[in-house]
Chain A
Amino acid sequence: MDEQEEILFKALNSLSKEYEKKESGFEDEVMKKITIEDKKRKERKETLNQLVITTLIGIGMATILLFIRYFLQDFSLSLLTVTNDLKSSFSIFADFSNNPGFKEWIIIGANLAFLLTIEQIISKKLQSKD
């Protein structure tokens, strides 16, 4: 260490004590912030899980309803041929969606999904109140 460095080491060391000063309760404040953040993260994860579950249930419901219609009302699903061609898949879906009654069933499925979401939100609110 040369003389120049020694001067700087000494000078900056004298500053370090001042720089390290903290208010009392710093640790408590950190732990409090961690608890709050932990709660927030858990809630976020829970909401995301519920959203995924609700969406899956919604999709499942819509599919079941379409199949019920197919079996009970002689609704043809022959257009849903398995194909690797994405373009034709889209056109198949477009044809499929033009079938009478398709929209109604989608609306019923979406309504069910919506109701399930509302139910989840309300139950979550009630849980957090408890």
Chain B
Amino acid sequence: MKKEEENILIDKIKKGDKSLFDKLVIEYSPLVISVIRGILCNREDAEEIAQDVFVKAFFSLKKFRGDSSFSTWIYRIAYNMAISKARQKKKIFVQIDNLSIPDKSFTTVEVETKEKEIQKLLKDILKNLTPSDRFIIISFYMHRKSIAEIAIITGLSESNVKVRLHRMKKKLNLILKEKLEFSYG
């Protein structure tokens, strides 16, 4: 959807045509679900919270002035709601520097493809990161958000995001390389 079309749509919804909101839901639900799933690592919770994100967005739409794109705005709502849900769960996470290579290795010849193995490995690694670190990785690599955008959404400084991203990139690559070389020689 083009930005102009989107703005017209939002204006119409603000004026009372509520039924049009489902167009925004269709457009942005994959993004919202994936960011929440990335933070929570749980599909069921992610869908439930994604629905609540859209409900919240609908009732806060009057506050949306269009300073940022709708995508960034809803992304921020999704981030805040997912982070607060993650805090409720109180799972213990590790800092990136202390992250160890997951136990499960690919030493045996499995039917899985290399891509699937990488996916599994990444999922295992991501699960052990803090929710905010996971969010940084996912929004940068998966959703191609800029460092400036991530800083706005998370409330962190751009330099802080850069440093965290750099550290995680280094560590993730190290783990991936070690694992894959070990697996495939």
Contacts and interface: CB of A to CB of B under 8 A. Distances in A.
Nearest to B56: A37
B122 A31 contact: no
Given A19-B38, A27-B29, A11 B58 contact: no
A12 B141 contact: yes
A26 B55 contact: no
A13 interface: yes
Interface string B5-49: 000000000000011011001100111011001100001000100
Q: Classify the interface of chain A: helix, strand, loop or mixed.
A: helix
B142 A30 contact: no
Nearest to B35: A19
Given A4-B173, A7-B176, A8-B169, A19 B34 contact: yes
Contacts of B51: 26, 29-30, 33
Nearest to B126: A15
Interface residues of A, number: 27
A61 B62 CA distance: 39
A44 interface: no
Contact of A30 (B22, B37, B137, B138): B22
Interface in B119-142: 119, 122-123, 137-138, 141-142
A18 B141 contact: no
A15 B172 CA distance: 15
Given A11-B118, A12-B142, A15-B119, A30 B54 contact: yes
